Structure 1
């Protein structure tokens, strides 16, 4: 919603903004300059224990905006009943479903997110995973670190250059498109499976549009970039993974929701497929989880979007949305109630 700007005021007259972000993450998201810009126009109310619903309930009366982060309480009717002046929930991450309910939209509160800030670093990690799988870097590293002799460590399945390799992308999302651009820039032949991408859109991206099963059969690397919705639960199960060629690799920097982890574990345990994974059914990933011990699996602890630059962009995005609200301007990255279909 748009309207007249709220007049700047000093002292107690400044609009209150609740910042539900823990101290370490707050330092990563908000540079001193951005925080000063926000504080010059607002009265920030900081919740160090950002998971405490009671603290949030006490802070919301009179607040014009709420900045949320991972782990913040979900804004429901109960919280909205005390949030008598709330006009904006600005989430510093991407998926908003864990943090707002339909009631937020029904009451006319605008909701924004910072997903655009995350697309580039996640795409870069997905490309790094792709290159590692193609060149079997993870296998060599594991062999040398676990004491294999030189000749044994040097043995690996066939390796390939990215130029000319068939790369299949599941989902032409923001991150999927960023990954496509990077993969094409280094010479990959990219195909995409996405029910919402038409022929014109595929041509614009410079990719071949394929049905999912054909993409799986033809791709040396499959990179998952689809949203987590009810329809995409275990989009890749045992039957789909079995379609991938021997020696192929799976990259998942999106959501574990999309891949049947047990089915993938069976495939990588057999040695038929390699995988590079940033997201897991259980997070933190248990120390004794079998994925940790496999030489053909590259793992990172859900950190694909954790760059300095990305975190700062996320903070800028949230601060800008608050200031745009105060200036009577429309949001830059608003989402509608349809965003609740994206579960994670």
Structure 2
């Protein structure tokens, strides 16, 4: 554990930064880090997954900045966090790190999910265009040694202008994706039980039941949260409703799709898919997804832009600074956030 070299920092409130070195470099620009050091005494955990190290750092700390892999805040850890008042997560889902006891003790919790919406939506759009134009199939054929004529063979290709695109979940990312797809002329339908008629009108989308969306879409993009209700919401029955030659885009969570059912569909060649998230990560080297010409893969990196990661760090630091200035948080979450399991 390291901290600020400023000898006067001991008079400032302590903030535990449970973020590993490689992510600190990406998350915190010099200006953002300087703003934190000017208002607080950072206690940095290089081994941010070490539960004992976290427990040793928490006594006396007013704030905790968490990253992926930070230990869950159990009652035991909270008991030593005698002055902890705010937890600022540098990601979106807080359920892996926060417990109901955190909220019972009146500790504020914030997250930085807004920062991720745009880059994930851009990747989902890139996936959409690739599937429509079968770019992944051409690339696979050429790299695999197929001759020119053979590599030129692909199912019918389509333009995004006028394309029927279905969006499952009008989340922050879903709405960002809708904006991008509609800007290119797509006709968008949405399934989301929580989308109001006013919001649908504002987004200029049709709200339809899931089965209707699946039957009528050339591309389906998944943007729903991972909750108990959405687990495997796209199973064998649902995937079978997609038209022949349709494409599935998943930059959300593998939780939402029955991976075995999807593998069966793409193995048969009936559907194409573009996937950023998997049941097992890292994706096994011998997994069949890696071999199929009609599947486009990325290793869970949809939100990994330099700009996004800097926004994540800036968001977390700003939440801590607002707390220290006695200002309300911008991205507060309550106990209902625990329903999002991933």
Q: CA RMSD for the aligned pairs? A: 0.8
Unaligned residue ranges in structure 2 (runs of 5+): 1-6
2:106 corresponds in structure 1 to 108
Shift in Å at residue 197 of structure 1?
Answer: 1.0
Question: 3-state SS of the aligned residue for 1:323?
Answer: helix
- 2-structure distance, mates of 1:110, 1:125: 32
Question: 3-state SS of the aligned residue for 1:35?
Answer: helix
2:133 corresponds in structure 1 to 135
- 1-structure distance, mates of 2:74, 2:25: 28
Unaligned residue ranges in structure 1 (runs of 5+): 1-8
Map 1:303-322 → 2, pairs under 5 A: 303-322=301-320
Q: 2:189 aligns with which of 188, 191, 199?
A: 191
TM-score (norm 1): 0.97
Shift in Å at residue 12 of structure 1?
Answer: 1.0
2:160 corresponds in structure 1 to 162
TM-score (norm 2): 0.98
- 2-structure distance, mates of 1:239, 1:341: 26
Question: 3-state SS of the aligned residue for 2:88?
Answer: strand
Shift in Å at residue 116 of structure 1?
Answer: 0.2
- 2-structure distance, mates of 1:76, 1:67: 16
1:83 corresponds in structure 2 to 81
1:283 corresponds in structure 2 to 281
- 2-structure distance, mates of 1:12, 1:90: 21
Q: 1:27 aligns with which of 25, 35, 39?
A: 25
Moved over 6 A (4+): none
- 2-structure distance, mates of 1:276, 1:198: 29
- 2-structure distance, mates of 1:48, 1:163: 48
- 2-structure distance, mates of 1:89, 1:37: 18
- 2-structure distance, mates of 1:69, 1:100: 12
1:236 corresponds in structure 2 to 234
1:225 corresponds in structure 2 to 223
Any conservation in 1 of the 2:9–2:40 contact (CA below 8 Å)? Answer: no
- 1-structure distance, mates of 2:98, 2:309: 21
The number of residue pairs the alignment matches comes to 336
- 1-structure distance, mates of 2:31, 2:107: 27
2:247 corresponds in structure 1 to 249
Describe the superposition over 1:39-87 as per-residue Cα deviations: whole angstroms up to 9, x where unpaired.
Answer: 1111101100110000000000000000000000001111110000000
Q: 1:216 aligns with which of 209, 214, 224?
A: 214
- 2-structure distance, mates of 1:309, 1:201: 28
Tell me if 1:56 matches 2:54. Answer: yes
Shift in Å at residue 11 of structure 1?
Answer: 2.7
Q: 2:35 aligns with which of 23, 37, 45?
A: 37
- 1-structure distance, mates of 2:314, 2:196: 33
Q: 2:180 aligns with which of 182, 192, 195?
A: 182
Question: 3-state SS of the aligned residue for 1:275?
Answer: strand
Describe the superposition over 1:63-120 as per-residue Cα deviations: whole angstroms up to 9, x where unpaired.
Answer: 0000000000001111110000000000000000001000000000000000000000
Shift in Å at residue 10 of structure 1?
Answer: 3.8
- 1-structure distance, mates of 2:302, 2:288: 22
1:302 corresponds in structure 2 to 300
Question: 3-state SS of the aligned residue for 1:152?
Answer: helix
- 2-structure distance, mates of 1:253, 1:10: 45
Question: 3-state SS of the aligned residue for 1:67?
Answer: strand
- 1-structure distance, mates of 2:9, 2:284: 49
2:96 corresponds in structure 1 to 98
Question: 3-state SS of the aligned residue for 1:169?
Answer: strand
